[in-house]
Structure 1
Amino acid sequence: MALLSPFMDALRPPAFHRTWNKREPGKVVAKRAADLPDMTALPIRALMPDLPQTIWSEDALLGPTSLDEVRRQAQERAEAIDWSKIQPGRMVNLIANPHGLQLCGEAYVTMLEVIAAHVKETRGAKVRLRIAESMGHIENPDWVKIYRLEERFGDVEECPQMGAGTKVDT
């Protein structure tokens, strides 16, 4: 198999981020898998050509980089949901999953923004972002900084996924 150097170059891991607790991962990681000799990348569609095309990617080599399609599909789905149980002036907790932030990044945040705006506009509700926390997702404060979530959503906090139950009428 031929080395896919442009593809491999695009898949090089980004520089390490300084973590919320001031750790510097770049000082302790000597070599990444991408730096191993003869490492190559294989586009997943070379193995599974029937996979649907992506609607967004961080890199043009992997798919479209415009967030317009993400916005369009998020809006279309938000409009299809019955939000009538949300009364004007009520507070809505929009729960973000750390895996969405890690795996989908800007596209995930864009989807959350569309949902928040839709609920505010159509229901007259207040929306605050809550990042679900369990199993030690210590990266959550990093996501807040990396994606400027406080700037984009205002009230942002972590909340436990598990705990004492609260009955909610739905």
Structure 2
Amino acid sequence: MSQTHSANNPSHLRAIEALYSGHHSWLYATLKRKLGNAMDAADLAQDTFTRILASQVTVIEQPRAYLSCVAKGILINWYQRKALERAYLEALANAPAQDVPSPESHFMVLETLHEIDAMLDALPPLVKRAFLLSQINGLKYDDIAKQLDVSLITVKRYMKQAFLHCMMMVE
């Protein structure tokens, strides 16, 4: 893949336009089949092309393989956001009625969870996964090591990296 330095580069825009017109319906159908939901599939297909547009790639040797790879990353992020939302909603369902936030607060908490998730996207995938398994799923480091098929010391290193990253992002 070749890269240019400007998203306004005419060859870049033509390449993305050709990619979109030639493969959008295929990507949409693939995502719809995986998700079983037309609206989410449409959103994720659009996110895929938006990310490619921002990448400034001008030459793509194997368009469907490239689209699949980019869409997979977006799909993983989407599933993680949904898991965060489910965990939050489960926590709310188990909370006493007086502790349930207002709809406005509920929305703000979900937005904050999405911001945290986006912040964690800068981490390597295994580091992020270890962090989420610990913080969202409540797994112990030994269990995370088994699930990720890495050593306990590696999980500890991942967690340290994730915590340091979070601290730096908050400052």
Common topology (TM > 0.5): no
Length-normalised TM-score, structure 2: 0.25
More helix by share: 2
Structure richer in strand, relative to its length:
1
